[in-house]
Amino acid sequence: MPKLIRYAALVLASLAISSCSLVNRGFQAFSPGNSVEIGQDLTINIVFVGYKQGNGAQQINLEEFKKILPSKYSSINRYPTYYLTKPAKELSGNSFTYNYNIKFAPQSFEDAFFAQLNQLAQPKPLTLYQQSYNCQADLALDPCPGDASNISKKITENYWIDAFQTEKWLAENAGQLGIDTKNYTVFFINWYGRSDFKHHVYVKTDEPDPDTGFNFGELLSSRKMSAWGGSTPDDRQGANASLSKVARIWFHDLSAGPEAQSNNWDITNADLDGDGKTDYRMPPIWEYGSTQTTYRPFNNLSGDLGRITRYVAINLLFTPSPLYRVAITPHQMPDDLLLNVNFYNDPAAGDQGQDLFKANLTTELLQKLQPFNNFTATIRGLSYDAKARCSFESQFDGTVCYPEYRLSQDASLLGANVFIDNLLEMKQAGFFQGGADYEVPVFAYNLAGKIP
């Protein structure tokens, strides 16, 4: 037998042995020609701090809480699924089985934690949304009609509490509770009802926008928070403030706020987005058990915290479904990726979006995320013409911008006109730059507007 043939036979034999070995070890990530679901068992810690177990309006009924929680979940590719004929789903190939470790913090832990919050608290004016709660009117749009009659208590003070320092304290002290924060961990916090309670919001004020220098966290009421988490060991918020170990923590505090992102300042109006349906949201903790006229009864705190665990912590933060397909699938897996960044510039916005965008910062961050790839970026401005404006504004008014396309006529497909407009732009000669293994089109909109 010629040497080359003998060598090839030996290679094929060794590959066969390796393949059998991998199968015997249960290696299931690849199965050519078949769809494979990769499963993972996860322990999720849930810690109640300041909540008591029981059946009271502001207490936790564990049976009611646990019946909301999922036992298993298979993630999907969200945008491809969005455009599929319902109820079809495009699975991403990942599934999760959840096991829950639920604990109530002892009094000693609570006393130490709330003492830390008191130490961090800085007196500040009421946020716009705390004032809106007092008035039960959106003060970003309308003047205050006077103190509302259906709120349980008026907010007269406010304190800022550093969100990262709060997370850091929980990470460093979770071991007292027997909690391993390498597992995903939710801390549900309730300061209300204690003699040392202060009305408060959580803030992150040390990272101005890298492009404009505008400090959203410090200057805008809409960026004051009731929840925070996800910091990594190399996150640094001030001198010597980094987390010393991996801590997969997210905390949520119903005694904070009210705040903008969940619209929980409004306990009066059922439909805030005008779609004719009740917008389910969780009010401040002191509203549970209220006998006043509110948009729904606040009588199931346990179920509400269960929903926050399921739909926010687990579905959106811990094991989310990706917006797009994670795998890049050209003819070969790419080494070099080019970000083809395009700005639609509204003349009323003044600045050119491409002048505000720091491409080097973006590519540096992506390099950390995917260290085995090389990232570059190109930037250019596009005309915010009538079609581009129609497409963007159609997300709010439902206008059909491209009647020749059925996709544009489907009012249920939010963003369909933007998708068509971007796709047509990509078909223009010279759009793609070339010179990389894979090119990622990015469309951004630099528009005039005001954020409260």
pTM, 2 dp: 0.84
Residue 411 has pLDDT above 90, yes or no: no
pLDDT at 406: 85
**Separation between Cα atoms, residue 13 and residue 392, nearest integer Å:** 59
pLDDT at 7 over 60: no
- Residue-wise pLDDT for 390-400, tens only, equals 999 998 888 89
Residue 140 has pLDDT above 50, yes or no: yes
Yes or no: say if 292 and 136 are a contact pair by the CB < 8 Å rule: no
Is residue 45 within 8 Å of 183, Cβ to Cβ? Answer: yes
Nearest CA to 439 out of 307, 341, 303 is that of 341
The confidence score (pLDDT) of residue 374 equals 95
Q: Beginning with the edge strand found earlier in the chain, give each strand of the sheet holding 336-345 in spatial order.
A: 374-383, 336-345, 438-446
Q: Is 441 helix (H, G, I), strand (E, B) or coil?
A: strand
Task: Give the residue, 231 or 45, on which the prediction is more confident.
Answer: 45
* CA-to-CA dists, residue 348 to 232, 449, 452, angstroms: 39, 9, 19
Would you state the pLDDT for residue 322? 92
Percent of the chain at pLDDT above 90?
68
d(CA 199, CA 430): 56
Confidence tier at 87 by pLDDT (50, 70, 90) = confident
Phi-psi region of 360 (alpha: psi -120 to 50; beta: other; left: phi over 0): alpha
Per-residue DSSP letters for 347-407?
GGG-S-HHHH--HHHHHHHHHHHSTTSEEEEEEEEEE--HHHHHHHHHHHH---S-TTSHH
Q: Could you tell me which residue, 279 or 31, shows the higher pLDDT?
A: 279
pLDDT number for residue 450 = 60
Q: What is the pLDDT of residue 233?
A: 73
Comparing 89 with 414, which gets the higher pLDDT?
89
Over 70: is that where the pLDDT of 249 sits?
A: yes
Are 274 and 396 a contacting pair, CB within 8 Å?
A: no
Question: Residue 44 phi/psi, 5° resolution?
Answer: -115, 120
Write phi, then psi, for 213 (nearest 5 degrees).
Answer: 80, 0
Q: Tens digits of per-residue pLDDT, 183-238?
A: 999 999 999 999 999 999 999 999 999 888 899 999 999 999 999 999 877 665 44
pLDDT value, residue 328:
72
Per the CB < 8 A criterion, the answer to whether 229 and 88 are in contact is: no
Q: How confident is the model at residue 434 (pLDDT cuts 50, 70, 90)?
A: confident
Radius of gyration of the CA atoms of the chain, in A: 26
Supply the pLDDT for residue 352: 83
* Residue ranges per structural domain of the chain: 103-318, 336-446
Give residue 378's pLDDT.
93
Bridge partners for 341 per DSSP: 379, 442
DSSP state of 98: E
pLDDT tier, 18 (very low <50, low <70, confident <90, very high otherwise): very low
Taking 90 as the threshold, does the pLDDT of residue 74 lie above it? yes
Beta bridge partners of 159: 123, 200
Residue-wise pLDDT tens digits, 97-137: 999 999 999 999 999 999 999 999 999 999 999 999 999 99
User: Across the chain, what does the average pLDDT equal?
Assistant: 88
The helix (H) or strand (E) run that includes residue 7 is helix 3-24
Other CB atoms within 10 Å distance of the CB of residue 264: 19
